[in-house]
Amino acid sequence: MKKGVPISAGVVVAKAYCVDEVMGLREPQYLDAAALSAEINRFDMAIAAAAELDAIVARVSQQVGEEEAAIFRSHRLLLRDPTLITKVKSAILERLVDARTALHELLDEYAALFEKIHDEYIRERMADIHDVVGRIMAQLALQVTGCCLEANESVIIVAHEVLPSQALAFHRLKVVGIATETGGSTGHAAILARSLGIPAVSGLRGILQEVATGDVLALDGREGHLYINPGPEVESAFRKLQREYVDTRDRLIENRHLDAVAPDGVGVELLANVNSAADAALAVSAGAVGVGLFRTEYLFLAHPTIPDEEEQLAAYRAVIEAAPNRCVTIRTLDLGGDKHVPYFGNEREANPFMGWRSIRLSSAYPEFFQTQLRAILRAGLFGNVQLLFPMISTLEEVRRVKRLVAATRDALTRQGVRFADVPLGIMLEVPAAAFCIEALLPEVDFVSIGSNDLIQYMMAADRDNPRVAHLCEPFSPAIMKLLRHVIRACGRSDKPVTLCGEMAGRPRCFLPLFGMGLRRFSMSPGFVPTLKEMARSTSVPLAGRIARRVLSLRTSRQIRDFLSRQARRICPNVALLDTRK
């Protein structure tokens, strides 16, 4: 048994599917002579697929700039470089290794050469070689089907880390669990797992050295435990827990037609966080009353080029038409940090989460940003749409993006293009903005709290770094006090406020936030039935007493233990659906 960090509740037993990091190290793979011809063909196919960059070059040049487009022109030349291709093929044929091993050897060779070069500009071109080789490896990975698995067999993904770009390929597999070496409870592996409603454990150091594809795993996302090839008794016990988990979850889904109303008649809006129209449809089946956060960046991460205005409009319209009551809050691009698209360049930042990302990136490319604004404003004709700007830090930023929206509206009006006058809101993720919320509220129509980033910035701890991820928990006294400040300020200004982070989907966190006056929660669709059960079981006076007690406690552990006891007392049947931490 290995102990990790519980990040998505539930219990599951299934076979492992090990996902290599695109650039990660691994043992060399040797082939039989009879397999060499097929491996060469596989490499040729990967090169051909990776080299299809013409559309990217054209669109990046048009919407972002010639300098950024030049990156892809150089990548296209590298992918057609006969020296690179010959070196890889020679390694396959002469050393009887597979294409991935040959590519790793090629990287090692180039890295050694570049280390001897004193010119900084030329040395930085090694990043381009990494990107090109990574593009080839990604194409090779898409050709793999999993040799030890049956068709359509349920699998537990085992990986060093799950990045958004990697997760896009999971639709080929029937994923029922995730186990990763790194990442915290609010990292993207956690968010992905909870949005899919599947159990997950992170912080399992060395797991890729201990697990092979096809091994049987028993994963407990409540406690953070992973059993590798368990004996029959342990496997039987876990399968029983798995059935109990599924039965409890299915029973709660039956409340989807009930209103989220407390016993004393106070209503709560339970909304969904979505990445796609399929997620929005899932939100309907879970009983959500709308979409509180549509993350548009996943449209860009999944697209082979930059989606143009009409493609974006079609995607936004599809989400709106699939959403509960056609109510959708659309967030503009939140790229950067660990979510990258190549057309913004490959510059490496020392601290990307605090760097050139999100609204800062959008403001640097106004034409690119205005294409998205045009599509969102036009999509507002198809439902009740709100426009949300992420990672706002200052009043000046709010006014700057409002001017961009005004200019976009003027351009659409001049062109005779119909659009909707949608409300504008900001996402509170930066403590500076949260502390100065009173200065920002007159400029906006609503506020959304992004607790994932707010917590990591407040605690100065990377939520995906296992050494400090324990600091990024919602039970911090500082976080509770800051949230009370924001909720009260929004109440005084009569501006709607929604909690959109993963904190919103945790039953224990609902209790004090409801007591502080929060009435709008947006979460992964799978958590809506659980939170509805909690809302229907908690009166306002009881929640108020819990909130006051929480605000008097001095440590995260005291708050967590107190809320765990209260949640079990108020709503015992949700305990199986929540992590223990």
Residues serving a catalytic function are 188, 500
Whether the CB-CB separation of 110 and 53 falls below 8 Å is answered with no
> How many angstroms separate the CA atoms of 310 and 325, rounded?
24
Whether the CB-CB separation of 348 and 130 falls below 8 Å is answered with no
> How many angstroms separate the CA atoms of 358 and 450, rounded?
13
Q: Is 368 helix (H, G, I), strand (E, B) or coil?
A: helix
Say which residue the tokens 């049987």 belong to: 216
- Burial of residue 416 (number of CB atoms within 10 Å: 0-12, 13-18, 19+): exposed
> How many angstroms separate the CA atoms of 411 and 457, rounded?
37
What is the CB neighbour count within 10 angstroms for residue 331? Answer: 24
> How many angstroms separate the CA atoms of 47 and 53, rounded?
11
The encoded tokens of residue 423 equal 């409300």
User: Which H or E run contains 98?
Assistant: none
Q: Is 348 helix (H, G, I), strand (E, B) or coil?
A: coil
Whether the CB-CB separation of 222 and 580 falls below 8 Å is answered with yes
Partnered with residue 336 across adjacent β-strands are 339
Among residues 424, 200, 427, 168, the alpha carbon closest in space to that of 302 is found at: 168
What is the CB neighbour count within 10 angstroms for residue 475? Answer: 24
Among residues 156, 161, 217, the alpha carbon closest in space to that of 189 is found at: 161
Q: In what order do the strands lie in the sheet with 225-228?
A: 2-3, 225-228, 216-220, 11-19, 154-159, 174-180, 200-202, 5-8
The encoded tokens of residue 319 equal 């989400």
- Burial of residue 145 (number of CB atoms within 10 Å: 0-12, 13-18, 19+): exposed
The encoded tokens of residue 414 equal 């001049």
Whether the CB-CB separation of 178 and 162 falls below 8 Å is answered with yes
